[in-house]
Structure 1
Amino acid sequence: MAFHEVRFPAKLSFGSVGGPERRTEVVTLTNGFEERNTPWAQSRRRYDAGVSLRSLDDIAELIAFFEARRGQLHGFRWKDWSDYKSCLPSALPGFADQRIGTGDGVRREFRLAKTYASGGAEYLREITKPVEGSVLVGITGDAQILGVDFELDVTTGVVSFAEAPDAGEAITAGFEFDVPVRFDTDVIQTSVASFQAGEVPDVPVVEIRL
């Protein structure tokens, strides 16, 4: 298998349903209390693109994309319209959006990440598929210049500085990002309702680990 650095057509993913999935094991004791545990440190996202298809042309584009990925065999990029920025959906990314590390005077590489915080608890999500041209980076409030101060690997989300940031300096970033996914089926079943419109009832997509 391989990962294809190509995005599922954004116009076809717009209107899809889906989001993060967790796996929690719950054991109810004889006294009514519960013990809860999870084997997953990271959440996993699932989507269904079927609801967003509106025409026979959409179906043709979907089938071409599906065939080129060989069904479930190869991964690809997916734009999650509800969560694709380092900032709020209504805002524009800025270099101070997310803290991705702290300098120690030696380390030069930092991976992009997004922190989800609520009620004093936090979840750190690594970002491995940033959108090229969208990434902004800062060091302790100072914007850095791509190609001069740092380089970015858009296939891994790793930021590499020309010089290691000094100890204690805050490394921050703002960006747009895609989710690495694959089709969660090897079958695409279409139903043509009329000459101008069709229906794809189920096009499941699931996040993959890289």
Structure 2
Amino acid sequence: MAFHEVRFPDTISRGARGGPERRTQIVELASGDEERNASWANSRRRYDVAYGIRRADDLAAVVAFFEARNGRLHGFRYKDWADYKSSLPSQAISATDQLIGIGDGAGNSFGLVKHYSSGAQSWSRAIAKPVADSVRIALDGVEQMSGWSVGITTGVVSFDTAPPPDIEITAGFAFDVPVRFDTDILDVTLDVERLGSITSIPLIEIRR
């Protein structure tokens, strides 16, 4: 099993459907009350890219991509057009978009993170597949043009010198979702005009 650092075609993913999934166990008591427990600490994203196929060439591209990944065997990058950057959809990426750590004078590695907040509640999502050349870093609000590097396959930011204590480390970035096909079969239909379609092409996020 391997991960291929290649992105699913953007022209097809743009018309796909999908988003985050949670797993919650709900037990209804005799009184009618409920007990709810989260089976997963983190969400997992699912997509169906069949909705993005509009032409026969799109179909051919998906079949080629599927064959090159050996079906479900190998993972790949996927752009979720509804959630692909550290900023709001209407805003440009900024080096102060997301807090990724606080300096302590010793540690020099920090993972990229995106925070989702509503009211007093929030959830933090680790970002492992940033887009090359999209990452921007700031220390206490001042963008750093050098002195750091980022692992495009891991999402880990490494500083040449550990940030001083109590310094806020922030980042801005675009990112992909690591996914795989969730089927080993592509059920292709061709009509009399040789225009093709596939009923469903499910993808599922890879969590390691």
TM-score of the aligned structures, taking structure 1 as reference length: 0.97
Counterpart Cα distance in 2 of 1:65 and 1:41: 31
Counterpart Cα distance in 2 of 1:4 and 1:195: 34
What SS is found at the alignment partner of 2:62? helix
Count of aligned positions: 208
Query: Could you say which residue in structure 1 is the equivalent of 2:40?
Result: 40
Query: Could you say which residue in structure 1 is the equivalent of 2:65?
Result: 65
Moved more, 190-199 or 91-100: 190-199
In the alignment, is the contact (CA less than 8 A) between 1:75 and 1:182 conserved in 2?
yes
1:91 CA displacement: 1.1
1:196 CA displacement: 5.8
Query: Could you say which residue in structure 1 is the equivalent of 2:201?
Result: 203
Q: In the alignment, is residue 140 of structure 1 matched against residue 123 of structure 2?
A: no
Counterpart Cα distance in 2 of 1:132 and 1:165: 23
Deviations 1:36-74 (A, max 9, x none): 101211100000000110111111110110000000000
Q: Which amino acid aligns with 1:52?
A: G
Q: Identity of aligned pairs, percent?
A: 53
1:106 CA displacement: 0.4
Query: Could you say which residue in structure 1 is the equivalent of 2:24?
Result: 24
Counterpart Cα distance in 2 of 1:118 and 1:46: 22
Query: Could you say which residue in structure 1 is the equivalent of 2:184?
Result: 186
Q: In the alignment, is residue 49 of structure 1 matched against residue 10 of structure 2?
A: no
Where does the alignment leave 5 or more consecutive residues of structure 2 unmatched?
A: none
Counterpart Cα distance in 2 of 1:135 and 1:194: 48
Query: Could you say which residue in structure 2 is the equivalent of 1:149?
Result: 147
Query: Could you say which residue in structure 1 is the equivalent of 2:111?
Result: 111
Where does the alignment leave 5 or more consecutive residues of structure 1 unmatched?
A: none
1:194 CA displacement: 4.5
Of residues 172, 175, 198, the one that matches 2:173 is 175
What SS is found at the alignment partner of 2:64? helix
Counterpart Cα distance in 2 of 1:24 and 1:173: 32
Structure 1 runs (4+) greater than 3 angstroms displaced: none
Counterpart Cα distance in 2 of 1:100 and 1:195: 53
Cα RMSD (Å): 0.9
Report 1:85-96 matches (<5 A): 85-96=85-96
What SS is found at the alignment partner of 1:182? strand
